[in-house]
């Protein structure tokens, strides 16, 4: 059928006709091919305009219609419906935009007219190739998703629920109410915000039609209007909603105190919290961040943050119990641990790390282990032998016994403890402390046989014969290394450091000599030197090949040794031992210089030729390292590797014999106590799995792995405090006795130190809440869940952020104590806020004068050009509240640009406040400074130009409130992406039309409610939300919706089945039909984006209404007119 | 060539750049009258042959403009377009066109000012490039 086109051009009053010579366009089109009639009219979108089209269709037999008017985004539907009414398929209509893209933006009328002609010609040319299309009707799921449960989301949900439709209300915070429940009063009625909002929040909780998903976030949206599939992630709140009664006992027991975000960080809350007592839901939540670095750094995975917090609460017993979950020797490690935790402590970013090791010792010293009840142990029949009673052996025995195994320890020396007893001198680790902790471990029912040396007194095979089902080997590294220098074997007076330390500890102290040389730079060397001093040696010198920086001994040990009078000769290497008459007389040494770095990263000492000299002495104590004395093990058939180390799996400690496990120095070579404890704990777990017949290698390591660095922020205002100092015996007294040198922390110092903890991990997982909760509602093992919801429409009510006031440096927020944001001031006013509703300064006194600064970030070309629409009114409200609460004599100064009191009753409120004696200054302050007042206190000075009197004024006040701008949520772009909506230039979500479509978006079925669309006060927000609810309900009630027929179509006669389109389709809407050998579009899923048609190599894939013929025709039409 | 006024065909997506152009219009941001917009649902449906067609029909340049990467209404159609345009630019000289006659931009729905600025800049650039003389060169 030949096209019969009707062309119409709209004047749009003078909007188009003021620039485009409408008659010229009309006349020009009248003669275009296939045009039957061309007309112009004042307002084509009006009733008479539309009727004109309908009449022509009927009377002139038009089968195509082109209207040149505004943007098709505005009126395409209007004219399509007019065609439909006249019996013409609406897809035979085409609109040319000659207003937004032409008359409004073109300066020269002649140019505008030419452009209009060209655009009109494009449309006329195109419409000839249009085809009949029919909209599809799809059913609408009546359920609605509301995102955000502030007052907008609540109102929309309640409205929808009233109709009987189901609402899924998703809120990312643990409780609902949004910003409104943070307020104290609302303007202009001065209603209490809680009084008017709590009935609504309670109604949400009680409505059977509302499925409240608090502490949840939408992660994905699929589908289309009427049929959305939404994925919601329910964050773990670690408290079960169905069990928690909201009694709050958990929070009373929680040791972790953090700033309360709900109070704008003015107040504090616990890690287990709810925002306020009337919160809906009333369920508590636990804030967990990624595991604190101190915990993840500890080789034994001790919950450092947990015991630090418990110590801060004075709960020493609980702290020790928490430590013993990972480490059975708290008092020992509290003294000798190299504290890797402290090196990762984030408090160092404020001033210095917390003295974690001293805190551990403090707690262990305060607790009598006899008071700690023995745990319930369910006995198992298998028995395990533990060889060696050092830290590895004791740890393995302890955890194996806790698991119910019968454990017997075999120790070669006469007393248990291994290196803890015979390697670490008593002045560092008193034997009483060690005995106390070993006794506690043995009290669990562990057998101990001393004086039993593996290889000499028994063999591994003997143990198997005795019925031990598994054997743990923790024999340590006690065999000293040789120096391999001349004369080492030839003279008396050469004594091994380990021998001296062992004999001294076992009660056979013997002075090595008067002038003693100790060789080496490790802890053993320092220990030997200090022990020699205590044994009566007059002069003790440590000879070390490198410099102090490279010494492996702990810094504090080196310092103590120097304080006690030990001399250290750095960069000195021994060459050979000199002696006479079979006795040592001196050590020939050579000076060295640091050379290039070796594998360990330390600079290799290079001897200097000709620099040799002799240090006279009568005893030499080599302390250059030890290795495991593992001959007994190799004799028993265990594989032994380099330097005598037993070969064992790093993951489980299993050796070459399946029933023998090993850990500690025997495997690693000389290392730290805490590493031995960590490895032995792993081995104990592995033995348990071995005996149960399970897979021996653990799925994951027991040590707490780092799960990220999303820790609590370090407060910007954290006070710098000195690191707790430890009391110690004076060096003069110390060097004559074996009494413990360090006296530990005082209680006050420990409390102060624990209080410095930044609680990096949020919840410290001390489990106090679990013990406190009578309903067993706390579950720390909870994980995030994912739900899938099916809904027909979505309402976004995600609210706003307030602008960060620290961006206004000249207003001093964050620097001066008495500068607040509006929201902070709301919390000061609120009865459940940090001051209980008192308007007081940080010093507890009422302010005598308050300045309120309007438009902080709003109406400001440097920040947001828009008006936040609520600040003038809440500033007036603050004025009233200040007068009411702080006293009528309190001065209130408003610094404003314009007063905008536009709502119902607002102007009256403004008048009332003027009568209440509020001062108004028209002008925006330039700067706020803090100065000392005459009376000695601090005052804030506001400098401002009073633009009504045109003079600069300085106003001294006690307190300043900044009315910071409302702005789009910082993650609006991400949310917009998830839901497929747009952001406007101001950052808020973009509505379909600023005036006529303020609740709809460009995406069908997704609506906006409240401030996420732009700043609003509460009445406007509530109206907007009800509007959104009505839009969503309109869809639900009708039950079906028309879906655009603009989808892809693959011509089966052309398709070659290459399947390129299938990979291109973002919606998986194309499937391959193997029988026909072609690709086919599933129209129900296709969104009509045309990714397939843009690429189809054979040209088979096309988008209906955007076919190549149509686009070509439009291009030709446009360009024909131009050229 | 002082009076030469180029003609630019713009294939723009309905959701971002077309909306931005509407916003520029509503905001009365005056632009050169050289651009003719062809509305597409997504830049992903812009077939390279549309561009060649426009140039063959005598357009002096072609603009393809869609949503910013990540903001596409259809997930990633704009990225597919970007790939196609990049490849097309490589072969345009084979058709006798300077590859600078094709330009691709991202202009979001709220960026009316950007849109007007892009049009101004591009018109000036194409003026420097000179007229597309293909029509006169080609023997049709």
The domain total for chain B is 1
Residue B82 domain-assigned (yes or no)? yes
- Nearest chain B Cα distance for residue A50, angstroms: 23
Residue A408 CA to residue A442 CA, distance in Å, equals 10
DSSP-derived secondary structure for A994-1043: TTTBSSB-SSTTEEE-GGGGS---HHHHHHHHHHHHHHHHHHHHH-EEEE
- Which residues, listed in sequence order, are joined to residue B62 by a DSSP beta bridge? B9, B102
A 927-986 residues inside an 8 A Cβ radius of B: 976-977, 980, 982-986
**Residue A753 pLDDT more than 90?**
yes
Q: Tell me: the pLDDT tens digits for A847-893?
A: 999 999 999 999 999 999 999 999 999 999 999 999 999 999 999 99
A 67-86 residues inside an 8 A Cβ radius of B: 71-74
CA neighbor of A791 nearest in space, from A151, A173, A222, A234: A222
Residue B126 domain-assigned (yes or no)? yes
User: Do the beta carbons of residue A648 and residue A682 sit within 8 Å?
Assistant: no
CA distances (Å), origin A396, targets A141, A412, A617, A942, A1002: 61, 17, 44, 68, 66
Q: In this predicted structure, what is the pLDDT of residue B1? A: 45
Asked if A1122 is an interface residue toward chain B (Cβ–Cβ < 8 A), one would say: yes
Query: CATH number of the domain that B125 lies in?
Result: 3.40.50
Residue B3 domain-assigned (yes or no)? no
Residue B92 domain-assigned (yes or no)? yes
pTM: 0.82
User: Do the beta carbons of residue A938 and residue A932 sit within 8 Å?
Assistant: yes
Containing structural domain, residue B50? 8-136
To which H or E segment does residue B8 belong?
strand B8-13
- Nearest chain A Cα distance for residue B42, angstroms: 6
C-beta atoms of A1123 and B71 within 8 A? no
Q: In this predicted structure, what is the pLDDT of residue A1092? A: 93
Taking the CA atoms of residue A165, residue A168, residue A169 and residue A174 in that order, the dihedral angle to the nearest 10 degrees is: 140
Average pLDDT (A75-103) is 95
**Candidates B47, B106, B123, partner chain A, best to mutate (most A CBs within 10 A):** B47
Residue B45 domain-assigned (yes or no)? yes
Q: In this predicted structure, what is the pLDDT of residue A136? A: 86
User: Do the beta carbons of residue A669 and residue A652 sit within 8 Å?
Assistant: no
Label residue A143 left, alpha or beta by phi (over 0 means left) and psi (-120 to 50 means alpha): beta
CB < 8 Å to B7, chain A: 1119, 1122-1123
Give the pairing type, strands A727-728 and A742-744.
antiparallel
**Residue A499 pLDDT more than 50?**
yes
CA distances (Å), origin A1056, targets A1061, A1076, B55, B94: 11, 10, 29, 27
**Residue A426 pLDDT more than 80?**
yes
What b/e sequence results for A319-356 when a residue is b if at least 16 CB atoms lie within 10 Å of its CB, and e otherwise? bbbbbbbbbbbbbbbbbbbbbebbebbbbeebebbbbb
Q: Tell me: the pLDDT tens digits for A989-1036?
A: 989 888 888 999 988 899 999 999 999 999 999 999 999 999 999 999
Residue A824 CA to residue A836 CA, distance in Å, equals 13
Least confident range of A45-49, A696-700, A762-766, A950-954:
A696-700
CB < 8 Å to B18, chain A: 71, 73
**Residue A700 pLDDT more than 80?**
no
Helical H segments across A638-672, by residue range = 665-668
What b/e sequence results for A435-445 when a residue is b if at least 16 CB atoms lie within 10 Å of its CB, and e otherwise? ebbbebbbebe
A 1017-1046 residues inside an 8 A Cβ radius of B: 1046
C-beta atoms of A1119 and B58 within 8 A? yes
Nearby residues of A888 by Cβ (< 8 Å), 6 or more positions away: A917
Q: In this predicted structure, what is the pLDDT of residue B139? A: 45
User: What is the maximal distance between C-alpha atoms in chain A?
Assistant: 138
The half-sphere exposure of A56 on its side-chain side, counting CA atoms within 13 A, is 23
List the structure tokens of A837.
């509703």
Which parts of A1066-1111 are beta strand (E)?
1070-1073, 1078-1081, 1101-1103
Q: Tell me: the pLDDT tens digits for A1031-1076?
A: 999 999 999 998 889 999 999 999 999 999 999 988 888 999 999 9
Residue A916 CA to residue A884 CA, distance in Å, equals 10
Q: Tell me: the pLDDT tens digits for A780-839?
A: 999 999 999 999 999 999 999 999 999 999 999 989 999 999 999 999 999 888 998 999
Q: In this predicted structure, what is the pLDDT of residue A6? A: 96
User: Do the beta carbons of residue A165 and residue A143 sit within 8 Å?
Assistant: yes
- Which residues, listed in sequence order, are joined to residue A517 by a DSSP beta bridge? A541, A620
Backbone dihedral angles phi then psi of residue A240, each to the nearest 5 degrees: -80, 125
Nearest to A105 among B25, B70, B109 (CB): B25
**Residue A702 pLDDT more than 70?**
no
Q: In this predicted structure, what is the pLDDT of residue B3? A: 67
User: Do the beta carbons of residue A731 and residue A565 sit within 8 Å?
Assistant: yes
Residue A653 CA to residue A643 CA, distance in Å, equals 18
What b/e sequence results for A1023-1047 when a residue is b if at least 16 CB atoms lie within 10 Å of its CB, and e otherwise? bbbbbbbbbbbebbeeeebebbbbb
Q: Tell me: the pLDDT tens digits for A593-638?
A: 888 888 877 788 888 888 889 898 989 999 988 889 888 888 888 8
Residue B101 domain-assigned (yes or no)? yes
Least confident range of A191-200, A482-491, A492-501:
A482-491
Nearest to B7 among A99, A1095, A1119 (CB): A1119
When pLDDT is cut at 50, 70 and 90, the band that residue A60 belongs to is very high
Residue B118 CA to residue B65 CA, distance in Å, equals 10
Q: Tell me: the pLDDT tens digits for A639-663?
A: 888 888 999 988 888 998 899 999 9
DSSP-derived secondary structure for A699-757: SS-SS-----S-PPPPPTTPPP-PPPPPEE--HHHHTT--S-SEEE--HHHHHHHHHT-
What value, to the nearest 5°, has the Cα angle with vertex A1049 and ends A1047 and A1050? Answer: 155
To which H or E segment does residue A198 belong?
helix A193-206
What is the pLDDT tens value at each position of chain B, 140 positions in all? 456 889 999 999 999 999 999 999 999 999 999 999 999 999 999 999 999 999 988 899 999 999 998 788 888 899 999 999 999 999 999 888 899 999 999 999 889 999 999 999 999 999 999 888 776 555 44
SS3 call for A1: coil
Asked if B138 is an interface residue toward chain A (Cβ–Cβ < 8 A), one would say: no
Residue A1056 CA to residue A1064 CA, distance in Å, equals 16
Q: Tell me: the pLDDT tens digits for A927-977?
A: 999 998 877 788 999 999 999 999 999 999 999 999 999 999 999 999 998
- Nearest chain A Cα distance for residue B131, angstroms: 12
Share of chain A above pLDDT 90, in %: 73
Residue B1 domain-assigned (yes or no)? no
**Candidates B35, B74, B104, partner chain A, best to mutate (most A CBs within 10 A):** B74
List the structure tokens of A220.
């994905």
Residue B71 domain-assigned (yes or no)? yes
What average pLDDT does the structure give for chain A? 92
Backbone dihedral angles phi then psi of residue A721, each to the nearest 5 degrees: -130, 145
Cβ count within 10 A of residue A913 = 23
List the structure tokens of A267.
């107040």
Peptide bond into A188 cis (omega under 30): yes
Q: In this predicted structure, what is the pLDDT of residue A704? A: 66
When pLDDT is cut at 50, 70 and 90, the band that residue A718 belongs to is confident
Residue A588 CA to residue A567 CA, distance in Å, equals 17
C-beta atoms of B25 and A984 within 8 A? no
Average pLDDT (A146-151) is 97
List the structure tokens of A701.
């390591």
User: CA A790 from chain center: how many Å?
Assistant: 29
Residue A684 CA to residue A700 CA, distance in Å, equals 15
- Nearest chain B Cα distance for residue A2, angstroms: 25
- Which residues, listed in sequence order, are joined to residue A224 by a DSSP beta bridge? A227
């Amino acid at each position: 059928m030949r096209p019969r086109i009707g062309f119409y051009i709209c004047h749009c009053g003078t909007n188009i006709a003021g620039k485009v010579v409408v008659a010229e366009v009309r006349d020009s089109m009248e003669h275009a091919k296939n045009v039957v009639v061309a007309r112009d009219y004042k307002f084509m979108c009006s009733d008479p305009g539309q009727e004109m089209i309908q009449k022509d269709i009927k009377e002139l037999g038009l089968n195509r219609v082109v209207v040149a008017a505004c943007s098709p985004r505005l009126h395409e539907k209007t004219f399509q419906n007019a065609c439909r009414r006249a019996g013409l398929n609406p897809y035979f209509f085409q609109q040319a935009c000659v207003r937004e893209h032409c008359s409004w933006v073109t300066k020269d009328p002649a140019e505008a007219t030419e452009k209009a002609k060209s655009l009109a010609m494009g449309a006329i040319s195109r419409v000839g190739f249009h085809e009949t299309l029919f909209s599809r009707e799809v059913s609408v799921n009546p359920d609605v998703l509301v995102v955000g449960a502030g007052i907008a989301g609540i109102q929309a949900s309640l409205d929808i629920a009233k109709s009987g439709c189901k609402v899924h209300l998703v809120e990312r915070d643990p409780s609902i109410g949004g910003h409104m429940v943070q307020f104290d009063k609302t303007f202009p009625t001065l209603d209490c915000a809680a009084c008017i909002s709590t009935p609504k929040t309670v109604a949400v909780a009680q409505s059977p039609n509302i499925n409240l998903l608090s502490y949840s976030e939408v992660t994905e949206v699929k589908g289309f209007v009427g049929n959305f599939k939404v994925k919601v992630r329910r964050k773990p709140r670690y408290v079960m909603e169905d069990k928690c009664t909201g009694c709050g006992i958990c929070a009373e027991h929680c040791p972790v105190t953090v700033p309360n975000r709900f109070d704008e960080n003015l107040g504090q809350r616990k890690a287990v919290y709810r925002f306020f007592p009337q919160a809906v839901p009333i369920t508590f939540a636990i804030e967990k961040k990624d595991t604190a670095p101190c915990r993840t750094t500890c080789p034994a995975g001790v919950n450092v943050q947990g015991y630090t917090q418990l110590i801060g609460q004075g709960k020493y017993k609980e702290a020790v119990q928490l430590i013993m979950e990972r480490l059975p020797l708290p008092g020992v490690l509290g003294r000798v641990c190299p504290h890797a935790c402290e090196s990762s402590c984030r408090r160092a970013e404020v001033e210095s790390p917390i003295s974690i090791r001293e805190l551990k010792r403090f707690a262990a010293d305060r607790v009598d282990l006899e008071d700690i009840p023995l745990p319930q142990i369910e006995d198992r029949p298998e028995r395990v032998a533990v060889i060696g009673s050092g830290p590895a052996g004791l740890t393995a025995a302890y955890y194996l016994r806790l698991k119910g195994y019968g454990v017997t320890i075999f120790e070669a020396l006469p007393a248990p403890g291994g290196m803890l007893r015979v390697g670490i001198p008593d002045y560092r680790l008193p034997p009483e402390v060690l005995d106390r902790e070993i006794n506690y471990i043995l009290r669990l029912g562990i057998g101990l046989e001393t004086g039993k040396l593996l290889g000499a007194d028994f063999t591994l095979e003997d143990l198997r014969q005795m019925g031990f089902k598994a054997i743990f080997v923790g024999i340590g590294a006690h065999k000293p290394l040789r120096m391999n220098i001349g004369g080492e074997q030839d003279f008396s007076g050469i004594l091994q450091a380990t021998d001296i330390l062992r004999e001294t500890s076992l009660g056979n102290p013997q002075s090595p000599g008067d002038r003693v040389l100790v060789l080496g730079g490790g802890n053993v060397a320092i220990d030997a030197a200090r022990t020699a001093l205590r044994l009566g040696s007059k002069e003790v010198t440590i000879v070390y090949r490198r410099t102090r920086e490279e010494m492996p001994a702990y810094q504090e040990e080196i310092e103590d040794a120097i304080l006690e009078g030990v001399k250290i000769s750095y960069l000195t290497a021994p060459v050979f031992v000199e002696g006479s008459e079979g006795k040592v007389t001196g050590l020939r040494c050579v000076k060295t210089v640091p050379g290039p770095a070796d594998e360990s990263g330390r600079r290799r000492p290079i001897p200097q030729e000709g620099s040799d000299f002799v240090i006279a002495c009568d005893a030499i104590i080599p302390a250059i390292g030890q290795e495991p004395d593992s001959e007994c093990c190799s004799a028993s058939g265990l594989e032994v590797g380099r330097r005598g180390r037993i070969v064992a799996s790093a993951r489980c400690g299993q050796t070459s014999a399946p029933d023998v496990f090993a850990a500690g120095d025997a495997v690693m070579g000389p290392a730290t106590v805490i590493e031995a404890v960590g490895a032995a704990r792993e081995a104990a777990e592995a033995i348990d799995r071995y005996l149960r017949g399970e897979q021996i290698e653990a799925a994951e390591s027991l040590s707490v792995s780092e799960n990220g660095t999303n820790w609590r922020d370090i407060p910007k205002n954290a006070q710098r405090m000195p690191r707790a100092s430890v009391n110690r015996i004076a060096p003069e007294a110390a060097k004559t006795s074996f009494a413990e040198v360090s006296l530990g922390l005082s209680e006050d110092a420990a409390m102060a130190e624990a209080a410095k903890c930044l609680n990096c991990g949020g919840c410290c997982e001390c489990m106090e809440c679990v013990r406190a909760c009578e309903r067993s509602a706390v579950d720390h093992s909870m994980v995030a869940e994912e739900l899938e919801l099916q809904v027909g429409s979505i309402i976004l009510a995600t609210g706003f952020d307030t602008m960060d006031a620290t961006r206004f440096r000249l207003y001093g927020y964050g620097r001066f104590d008495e500068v607040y944001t509006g929201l902070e001031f709301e919390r000061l006013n609120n009865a459940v806020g940090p001051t209980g509703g008192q308007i007081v300064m940080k010093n507890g006194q009422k302010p005598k004068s308050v300045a309120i600064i309007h438009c902080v970030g709003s109406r400001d070309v440097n920040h947001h050009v828009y008006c936040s629409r609520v600040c003038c009114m809440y500033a007036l409200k603050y004025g009233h509240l200040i007068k009411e609460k702080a006293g009528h004599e309190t001065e209130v100064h408003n610094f404003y640009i314009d007063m905008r009191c536009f709502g119902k009753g607002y102007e009256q409120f403004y008048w009332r406040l003027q009568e209440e004696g509020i001062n108004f200054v028209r002008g925006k302050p330039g700067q706020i400074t803090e100065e000392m007042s005459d009376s000695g206190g601090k005052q804030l000075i506001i400098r401002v130009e009073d633009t009504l009197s045109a003079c600069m004024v300085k106003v001294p006040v006690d307190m300043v409130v900044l009315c910071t701008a409302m702005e789009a949520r910082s993650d609006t772009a991400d949310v917009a992406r998830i839901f497929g909506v747009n952001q406007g230039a101001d950052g808020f979500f973009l509505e379909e039309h600023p005036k006529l479509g303020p609740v709809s978006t460009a995406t069908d079925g997704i609506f906006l409610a409240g401030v996420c669309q732009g700043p609003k006060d509460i009445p406007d927000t509530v109206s907007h939300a009800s509007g959104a609810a009505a839009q969503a309900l309109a869809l639900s009630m009708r039950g079906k919706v028309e879906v655009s027929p603009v989808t892809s179509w693959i011509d089966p006669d052309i398709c070659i089945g290459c399947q390129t389109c299938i990979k291109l389709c973002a919606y998986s809407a194309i499937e391959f039909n193997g029988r026909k050998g072609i690709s086919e579009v599933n129209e129900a899923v296709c969104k009509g984006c045309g990714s397939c048609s843009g690429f189809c190599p054979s040209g088979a894939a096309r988008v209906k209404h955007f076919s190549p013929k149509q686009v070509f025709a439009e291009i030709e039409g446009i360009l024909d007119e131009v050229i | 060539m002082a009076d030469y006024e180029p003609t630019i065909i713009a294939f723009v997506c309905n959701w971002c750049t077309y909306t931005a152009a509407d916003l520029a219009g509503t905001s009365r941001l005056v632009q050169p009258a050289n651009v003719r917009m062809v509305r597409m649902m997504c830049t992903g449906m812009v077939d390279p042959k549309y561009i060649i067609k426009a140039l063959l029909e005598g357009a002096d340049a072609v603009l393809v403009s869609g949503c910013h990467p990540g903001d596409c209404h259809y997930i990633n159609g704009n990225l597919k377009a970007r790939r196609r345009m990049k490849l097309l630019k490589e072969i345009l000289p084979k058709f006798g066109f300077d590859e600078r006659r094709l330009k691709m931009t991202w202009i979001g729905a709220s960026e009316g000012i950007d849109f007007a600025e892009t049009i101004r800049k591009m018109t000036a650039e194409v003026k420097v490039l000179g007229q597309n003389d293909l029509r006169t060169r080609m023997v049709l």
